[in-house]
């Protein structure tokens, strides 16, 4: 697996992202659809659906290795043009207006992803 960038200002040098479990993402979309038509939510409204927490690329790879029991070979390559060190969602608006919050963490996300691939 190519890991783009190993010289970011993060705990292990890799980029930090806000990874979200697919079930949490789907529930966020459902929460938005359920609010559609409410007096305060007519029209188009942007919401950040995420955990608000960062995970480095290598932390994610470690979690997948743990969930799968399979070693993932990592090849450190240069940064991709335009990549930033950290990119996180700010889910405050989704929490307050949609009454939605991500429930699953990285370990559960990787475990469920691996189970999906296996089945």
pLDDT of residue 33: 87
pLDDT in tens, 23-37: 999 999 999 988 886
User: Tens of pLDDT along 85-99?
Assistant: 999 999 999 999 999
Q: How many structural domains is the chain composed of?
A: 1
pLDDT in the model for residue 45: 83
Return the DSSP state at 78.
Answer: P
Nearest to 114 by CA among 80, 57, 74, 66: 66
The CATH number assigned to the domain holding 68 equals 3.90.25.10
Q: What is the pLDDT of residues 64-115, one digit of tens each?
A: 999 999 999 999 999 999 999 999 999 999 999 999 999 999 999 999 999 9
CB 59 within 8 A of CB 86: no
Residue numbers of the domain that contains 91? 2-118
pLDDT at 38: 64
Residue 34: the pLDDT is 86
């Amino acid at each position: 697996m190519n890991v783009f960038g190993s010289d970011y200002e993060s705990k292990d040098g890799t980029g930090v992202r806000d990874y979200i479990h697919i079930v949490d993402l789907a529930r966020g979309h459902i929460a938005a659809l359920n609010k559609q038509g409410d007096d305060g939510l007519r029209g188009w409204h942007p919401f950040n659906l995420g955990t608000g927490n960062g995970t480095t690329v290598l932390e994610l790879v470690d979690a997948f290795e743990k969930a799968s029991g399979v070693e993932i070979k990592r090849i450190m390559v240069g940064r991709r043009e335009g990549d930033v060190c950290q990119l996180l969602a700010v889910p405050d608006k989704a929490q307050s207006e949609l009454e939605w919050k991500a429930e699953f963490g990285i370990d559960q996300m990787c475990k469920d992803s691996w189970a999906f691939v296996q089945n």
